[in-house]
Structure 1
Amino acid sequence: MKVFAETERLILREILPTDVDGMFELDSDSEVHRYLGNKPVSTKDQSMEMINFIRQQYIDNGIGRWAIIDKNTNAFIGWSGLKFVTDLTNNHKNYYDLGYRLIKRYWRQGIATEAAVASLGYAFDELNAGEVYAMADCDNEGSNKILTNIGLKFIEKFYDDGVEINWYKIEKEEFKKLKSAISYKIIH
């Protein structure tokens, strides 16, 4: 198992097949999927397909979403991290996308913010990315707030499958200037 980063409370590691129960709890919740197209999964097989898809991204692109693990309890909280997007999205292609998704009982505890900052640190410190993008449904107040709080700048709105989406970006130099109060360390 590869660990990519740690924060005070969290371990960010590769998603493993043994995470299937946590992934199912996460992605079968209709509230979690409220701003994700309202398509929650209904079987653990679907969750395993998602795990396999993410693990293939590790192989194909050297990066993919990571499991968020509570250091104290070893509980699966959700996922965060980077995805290298090769498909055209809002006139962009071949870019790093920041994302996160948490099991509902972990919402509003600063976990997504903490994991997202560590993910950005990894993007800029380890991958030497020049910029990272993110997007959120315009109506998803929580996610939009997280993105702006960690320094991403709103660029524009666009439509994806008929849904209005906010498009964000942060550049390496902007991130370095922030000197975030959330400490993280990158694991080599």
Structure 2
Amino acid sequence: MQQPTIETPRLLIRELLDADAEGMFALDSNANVHRYLGNNPIKTIEEAKEIIGKVRKQYKDLGIGRWAMIEKNTGEFIGWTGFKLNTEPVNGHHNFLDLGYRLREEFWGKGYATESAFASLNYICTHGKHDSIYGMAEIDNEASNVILNKKVGMHYVNSFMYDTAHCHFYEITKAEWLARN
């Protein structure tokens, strides 16, 4: 499936490419980035290439996967955003779209995650087939919880254990998003 190209005032959101390996390595080799992701940063560029390969396989097999976030002013890979189709059960749900984003540390606190989450939700609610979209964040990840709940308006559903992490689970329906936006 062809992945979208989405433009926001500051971002170009597009499919992940093999050429994004160095940016992906800069993102996922940072221990601070992995603080709420199991504290398991990658150690080699080969691991970054494998991550990109897995996402590109999701495009082919599932029709969707996370997208690259490119800063328009610089053309620099600053992270990823968008959706993962969770086919395995998580918190009593399966075959659901999980909204996510991850930014290189030097781009934190600049509103890029919120900007990309809005753009991703707008795209999927306009063009996608899922009636509900979900998001999750570790309870202690205050910034991500604020983005999901307060900034993009997802509703708190419950708290649950995901592997060894205590997380909040959020939802927004396509109808809710379209009525508000």
Scaled to the shorter chain, the TM-score interval is over 0.9
Maintained 8 Å contact 1:153/1:169? yes
TM (norm. structure 2) is 0.96
1:48 paired with 2:49, answer: yes
Report the 3-state secondary structure (helix = DSSP H, G, I; strand = E; otherwise coil) of the residue aligned with 1:109.
Answer: coil
User: 5+ residue gaps in structure 2?
Assistant: none
Question: What does residue range 153-172 of structure 1 map to in structure 2 within 5 Å?
Answer: 153-172=155-174
1:114 paired with 2:115, answer: yes
1:96 paired with 2:97, answer: yes
Higher relative contact order (CA 8 A, sep 6+): 1
Measured in 2, the distance between the counterparts of 1:128 and 1:4 equals 18
Report the 3-state secondary structure (helix = DSSP H, G, I; strand = E; otherwise coil) of the residue aligned with 2:32.
Answer: coil
What displacement does 1:59 show? 0.2
CA RMSD between the two structures: 1.2
Measured in 2, the distance between the counterparts of 1:131 and 1:118 equals 16
TM (norm. structure 1) is 0.92
Counterpart amino acid of residue 30 in structure 1: A
Measured in 2, the distance between the counterparts of 1:146 and 1:19 equals 25
Question: What does residue range 39-188 of structure 1 map to in structure 2 within 5 Å?
Answer: 39-148=40-149, 149-179=151-181
Measured in 1, the distance between the counterparts of 2:66 and 2:50 equals 14
- Identity of matched residues, %: 46
What displacement does 1:3 show? 4.3
User: 5+ residue gaps in structure 1?
Assistant: 180-188
Counterpart amino acid of residue 158 in structure 2: E
> Corresponding residue for 1:185?
none
Runs (4+) of structure 1 exceeding 4 A deviation are none
Equivalent pairs counted in the alignment come to 179
Measured in 2, the distance between the counterparts of 1:71 and 1:162 equals 37
Measured in 2, the distance between the counterparts of 1:157 and 1:151 equals 17
